[in-house]
Every structure is written in C-alpha cells, then in structure tokens.
Structure 1
Amino acid sequence: MAVAAALLLLLLVAPAAYAVQHIVGDRSGWTETVDYSDWVRGKTFTVGDTLVFNYGSSHRVDEVTRSDYTNCETGNAIDSHSDGNTIVTLSKAGTMYFICPVLGHCSSGMKLAVDVVATSGTSPATPSTRSGSSTPSGATTVVNNGSILGFSLVLGVVLAIMS
C-alpha cells in the first residue's frame, strides 16, 4: 500500500509536457494593423507550440523563405492558407517566416518571423502540420500534449492495483 501511495504521489508531482498556443496578433488577429515585430518581442516559441492565425477573407497566410519574407515575394510559398483560421505547428527549431500575399499587405507590415527553439529531447524535425480549428482569438493559451490522458490511465491502473 505504501508503494502505491508513493507512486501516486510521484505521478502527481511529475511535470506534464505542455505546448503553448500563440494567437498571432492576440485579439487583433492577422491583420494590417498589428506590428508583428513588436508582437513577437518577449515571447518564446518552442518546438511543439502552435501559431493560430485568425483573419478575414481579405487576407491569407503564406509560409515563405527568409528571402521571400525580406522581399515580400509572393510567388514561391512553402505553404499557403486561406481558411480564416490557420493553425501552424512549430515542428522544428529555426526561424519560420509568414506573410500575407495579398497585394500590398506584406509591404505594409503584414509579415511575421518566429524564432523557434528546441526543447530538450526534441527529435529531428518533420514537416510542419497545419489544420483548421475553432479556437477563438485571444491571449496565448497553454495546451496539454496528451499528458492528462496518460496520467489518467496510469492513475487508473495504480488505483485498480490498490483496491
């Protein structure tokens, strides 16, 4: 019984793995009115985090190379989105670049460069995954990476053994 209680206590104090969901532009979203250089200042972007781009039908999101970001070149996108609610998973360390390819938007400041840092134990990178979501815009939120489910399963097994 003491071993089971010690194991349960260990599970309760073990840190869970969390990813951060960054709402690009916070409440303003992906728009021409936000200074994205200021928006990234002071934020840490880590492999596993996500960027959520919320925008209207007059905007799009293109992931581009550094050169295309610098020159606001819209013809060579790595990936392109126009769904109004784009989620980009930061799957590798390094800088990722995003622009709005609508004529004049990038040159007026609608571009984002994000420096992504590796986490301890991060494995080699895989291509970024994207999908739609109904996440509302707002402040940065913390999202659990499945640790609660794993914890719940282990806790259930421990409690079953203790019974």
Structure 2
Amino acid sequence: MAARIMAALACILVMLRLSEAAVYKVGDSAGWTTIANVDYKLWASTKTFHIGDTVLFEYNPQFHNVMRVTHPMYRSCNTSKPISTFTTGNDSITLTNHGHHFFFCGVPGHCLAGQKLDLNVLLPASSTPLSDPPTSSSPPPPTTIPAAGVPGPSPSHAASPPSVMATRIIAVVALLVSLAFTNFAS
C-alpha cells in the first residue's frame, strides 16, 4: 500500500515538473514581422520566461530571419557576427539557462524598425532543463541556446497564461490522489 502511494506521489512530481515548461509564439498571432507594428518589448514584458520554455519565431523566410546576438549588438542592431542565425520561418528555441537572450531580424532596417526581442529568463527553481519529447507530427526539435550572459532590463513578473497541459496534469493528480486514498481506506 505504501509503495502505491509513493509511486503515485512520484508520478505527480514528474508531471508537475513537466507542466512547468511553456511555449510562447513570439508576437502572438502577428508572429515575427515588421508589418503588424508589434511592440516586442511590450510583448516580452507580459510573459515570465523560465528555463525549459520554448520560444517560437514564425515568419515568412523570404522577408525575415532571426539572429541571436550579444547585448551590444542588440542595442546597436549590429548584424556582423551573430551568435546564431535561424532562417526556417518556424524556429523553435528552448531556453536552457537564466539571463537575457537577445534576438533581432537581420534584414537591413528591420531591427531599427523594432523587430528585436530581449527575453529575460528567470533564475531556475532547479537546474534541470525541461523538454517535451518530439512526436511524429511535431516540427523539428527546438534549438537550445544559452543566455547571452549580460545585464538587461528588470525581469517581468507577469504571470504566464495557463496551459492545457497544466489542466490535464491537475486532473491526473486529482485522480491519482483519489485512487491512493481509496486504496488506503480499503
């Protein structure tokens, strides 16, 4: 009986840990663009990013790209030596450590027009990165990158939107607890 309860509790802890990761589409429905006049600074300030979260850059690759850059490059929109460049139009990047992550579009004029993003990943509750296993219908596995390791604006303390996964996990947890107590009472 005690073994069942311990197994149920272990499952609960694993599921809660997995539910912490979130996926954020940069720019929400507008995506990564200059046309919709998205304020990416405002967009990022409404999110709370954690290690294991994924940011998804969706854009037309004929007109845009995504460059990960250092803080000085970000400030000056310098495209000369990016840390990495993404060009698929559907780029998933998993955030693997805390600190600021700097991105912009490297197409001339786009960064200066505001197509730039500073994500601040909060200090982790634990040091283990999170990742969901890919499924056969999912896009290519996300790219993982470390933070730029430089100072930036203060972190956002806005709450992340609730996820469907979290709701499912809560339901499973309730079921497991109910089964544990039913078996315990028997």
For normalisation by structure 1, the TM-score amounts to 0.72
Match of residue 3 from structure 1: 2
Is 1:67 aligned with 2:67?
no
Aligned AA for 2:98? A
- Structure 1 residue 3: Cα displacement: 2.4
- Structure 1 residue 35: Cα displacement: 0.6
1:98 maps to which of 87, 96, 103:
103
Aligned AA for 2:139? S
Is 1:16 aligned with 2:20?
no
CA distance in 2, matches of 1:19, 1:68: 29
Q: Assess if the C-alpha contact under 8 Å between 1:24 and 1:53 holds in 2.
A: yes
Aligned AA for 2:27? G
Q: Which runs of 4+ in 1 moved over 3 A?
A: 11-14, 140-144
Bigger Cα displacement from structure 2, 95-104 vs 5-14 = 5-14
- Structure 1 residue 5: Cα displacement: 4.0
2:32 maps to which of 30, 44, 56:
30
Q: Using a 3 Å threshold, how does the CA distance of structure 1 residues 12 and 40 change in structure 2: closer, same or farther?
A: same
Unaligned runs of 5+ in 1: 125-131, 135-139, 156-163
Aligned AA for 2:86? H
SS of 1:76 mapped into structure 2 = coil
CA distance in 2, matches of 1:107, 1:61: 14
- Structure 1 residue 9: Cα displacement: 4.1
Unaligned runs of 5+ in 2: 130-137, 141-160, 177-186
SS of 1:16 mapped into structure 2 = helix
Bigger Cα displacement from structure 2, 51-60 vs 17-26 = 17-26
Is 1:81 aligned with 2:81?
no
Q: Using a 3 Å threshold, how does the CA distance of structure 1 residues 12 and 82 change in structure 2: closer, same or farther?
A: closer
CA distance in 1, matches of 2:77, 2:128: 32
Aligned AA for 1:43? K
Cα RMSD between the aligned structures? 3.0
| Corresponding residue pairs, total | 136
Aligned AA for 1:3? A
Match of residue 133 from structure 1: 139
Q: More strand by proportion, 1 or 2? A: 1
Q: Using a 3 Å threshold, how does the CA distance of structure 1 residues 141 and 74 change in structure 2: closer, same or farther?
A: farther
1:122 maps to which of 124, 127, 135:
127
Q: Using a 3 Å threshold, how does the CA distance of structure 1 residues 143 and 82 change in structure 2: closer, same or farther?
A: farther
CA distance in 2, matches of 1:98, 1:141: 25
Identity %: 36
For normalisation by structure 2, the TM-score amounts to 0.64
